[in-house]
Structure 1
Amino acid sequence: MALEIPVVTPLRVDDHSRDIAGLTYVYPVVSRRAGGVSLGINLNPNNACNWRCVYCQVPDLQRGSAPDTHVEQLEHELNLMLHDIVQGDFMQRAVPEGARRLNDIAFSGNGEPTTSAQFLACIEVVERAIARFALREQIKTVLITNGSQMDKASVQAGLQKMATINGEVWFKIDRAPQDGFEFVNQIKLNREQVARRLATAAALCPTWVQTCMFAVDGVLPDSAEVEAYLAFLAEQIAQGVVLQGVLLYGLARPSLQAEAPRLTAAPLAWMQQLVARIEGLGLVVKLSA
């Protein structure tokens, strides 16, 4: 396939459109958490996820798994975008001044990326691209995940490979996992299962806990919810799970789910108080309120 430079309109921190470059799998965004350009990989172009988080910004979200990934097409698209970013004028053409650095290649997109049967092959695509463009020491490879597929051998192999290319896992834990239905993620959770999968991820690749906090019907998480969340983190630390820290964030863009009218951002002061509580456990916290 010949390299054809995609036409990309100027990127904005509040617009993470997956089709902004006209590609199927690869899309560039300006990430407030990354502090630069994040090159996203969307293995769920069918807008299907096995969870349905109430704050999710994916339009027409449906329950399901990723479709088969056309690995050769993914590799072509990734090489195309990296060529434009590393060797072309992409940064000047499409990125606001002050954010003109490539921070990472991130498996995120419109659903849970590890539900792709080709997940390991996709990690290998990134590994080859990083070598081709000499980016091994310059950028991270990030997996943003709900952790639900961590028991699969192919996913574990993918994480092991990620660890060799400056990889890290962002493992979603929005509230303390309790046995039963979880409103925030619209899924039935098993506490022991979540703890085991988090420990698995952390043992294979540097892992951050990723947490979204917000108010529902004007009510912030109460003290019992906050204490349960902190207790779960403390329990993992006591069990010897090595965590890089917590990525704590609020509502940056409007939810596109039915619950959207019920959700509002948590006040900055409340978020900062939670940061202090988490740091009290000995964890690093990065806040994006």
Structure 2
Amino acid sequence: MTNSSAKSGGVLNVVNHDRNSAALHYVYPVISRRAGGVSVGINLNPNNACNWRCVYCQVPELTRGTAPPVDLQLLDTELRSFLTELLHGDFMQKRVPVEARRINDIALSGNGEPTSAIAFAEVISLISRVRRELAVPDEVKTVLITNGSLLHRVDVQAGLREMAQIHGEVWFKLDRASVAARLQVNDTHLRQDQVRMNLIAAMSCCPTWLQTCWFAMDGAPPSLQDEEDYLAFVGELVRAGYPLQGVLLYGLARPSMQAESERLSALPTELMQAFADRITQLGLPVKISV
């Protein structure tokens, strides 16, 4: 990375999640409202391809598909150079607001489902090596933001087990907990038993949080049935003793780039808090981002 590419652009903020903000192919910085600092993003889907199509997705020209082959050498170079710039350069001073000048995590997210990359486990090993060689502080987490649909794969689970060794967390998408509502929100036909199986697999490999996007559609908040379905699904797992870390409940902060964009709106804080209160009654911590 050249100094000009590392420092190009204006000051980052929570609504600017431009994957090109550091002029790199795989690596990009964002100010994460959920994380409360700089999140070093890794985008394994520069082709804008995902196996889901969530109605609130901010990826333009989203297509159905999987991640392309990963250039591991390029990813290594970009990640190593950018982390060095954050740790020892002036990127924080020039591009990051004072209150967010900390590296919170290295997050596999981007423009599609990261676990669809064939080299996913190799990518985790690469991150582990770079972290170790650059002495990235232990408090900097390694986070996988995933729809969870491919966590039954042996290679993906191997990557998650290695993530657990580098301060890893899985953020497993659970926006709705019925087949019909998931089809409406995420445009996927994934069955309940598949979601449950994949979530259990994630928890067995690495500390796992649920991430839930809660919003209004056509002016109406999620229904009481949506809430009941969610609480029943999560409550069963809690009662069975599965080690779920908690729930990351968030609303709409940036406009959707999907056809349903005009139908979506953010919920009032009091409705978000009311649902969070119901989740906490299951015995789980809830972190709200609105």
TM-score per shorter chain, which class?
A: over 0.9
* Separation (CA, whole Å) in 2 of partners of 1:274 and 1:240: 22
Q: 1:170-209 residue pairs with structure 2 within 5 A?
A: 170-178=171-179, 182-209=183-210
- Structure 1 stretches of 5 or more lacking a match? none
2:2 aligns to what? 4
Describe the superposition over 1:152-202 as per-residue Cα deviations: whole angstroms up to 9, x where unpaired. Answer: 111000000000000000000000143796110011020001001000001
1:216 aligns to what? 217
Q: What RMSD over aligned residues (CA atoms) do the two structures have, in Å?
A: 1.1
Q: 1:134-145 residue pairs with structure 2 within 5 A?
A: 134-145=135-146
1:65 aligns to what? 66
Q: Secondary structure at the match of 1:92?
A: helix
Confirm or deny: 8 A CA contact 1:246 1:286 kept in the other structure. Answer: yes
TM-score, normalisation: structure 2:
0.97
- Structure 2 stretches of 5 or more lacking a match? none
* Separation (CA, whole Å) in 1 of partners of 2:99 and 2:155: 38
2:34 aligns to what? 33
Confirm or deny: 8 A CA contact 1:179 1:191 kept in the other structure. Answer: no
Q: Please say if 1:285 is aligned against 2:283.
A: no
Describe the superposition over 1:183-231 as per-residue Cα deviations: whole angstroms up to 9, x where unpaired. Answer: 1001102000100100000110000000001111001111111111111
Q: Secondary structure at the match of 1:98?
A: helix
Q: Secondary structure at the match of 1:192?
A: helix
My pick for the range that moved more, 18-27 or 172-181, is: 172-181
* Separation (CA, whole Å) in 2 of partners of 1:263 and 1:269: 18
Confirm or deny: 8 A CA contact 2:181 2:226 kept in the other structure. Answer: no
* Separation (CA, whole Å) in 2 of partners of 1:211 and 1:39: 21
1:274 aligns to what? 275
Describe the superposition over 1:60-96 as per-residue Cα deviations: whole angstroms up to 9, x where unpaired. Answer: 0000000000011000000110110001111101101
* Separation (CA, whole Å) in 2 of partners of 1:22 and 1:150: 31
* Separation (CA, whole Å) in 2 of partners of 1:202 and 1:177: 21
Q: Secondary structure at the match of 1:188?
A: coil
Instruction: Tell me: CA distance 1:181–1:12, structure 2 relative to 1, closer, same or farther (3 Å).
Output: closer
1:17 aligns to what? 18
* Separation (CA, whole Å) in 2 of partners of 1:288 and 1:181: 21
Runs of at least 4 residues off by over 3 Å: none
* Separation (CA, whole Å) in 1 of partners of 2:144 and 2:115: 9
Q: CA deviation at 1:137?
A: 1.3
Quick one: which amino acid aligns to residue 243 of structure 1?
Answer: L
Confirm or deny: 8 A CA contact 1:179 1:190 kept in the other structure. Answer: no
1:239 aligns to what? 240
For these two proteins, the number of residue pairs brought into alignment is: 287
1:249 aligns to what? 250
2:121 aligns to what? 120
Instruction: Tell me: CA distance 1:137–1:180, structure 2 relative to 1, closer, same or farther (3 Å).
Output: closer
1:48 aligns to what? 49
Q: Secondary structure at the match of 2:212?
A: strand
TM-score, normalisation: structure 1:
0.97
Quick one: which amino acid aligns to residue 37 of structure 2?
Answer: G
Quick one: which amino acid aligns to residue 264 of structure 1?
Answer: S
Describe the superposition over 1:9-47 as per-residue Cα deviations: whole angstroms up to 9, x where unpaired. Answer: 221110100011110000001111110000000000000
Q: Please say if 1:156 is aligned against 2:154.
A: no
State the percentage of identical aligned residues.
54
Higher helix share: 2
Quick one: which amino acid aligns to residue 69 of structure 2?
Answer: D
Q: CA deviation at 1:136?
A: 4.5
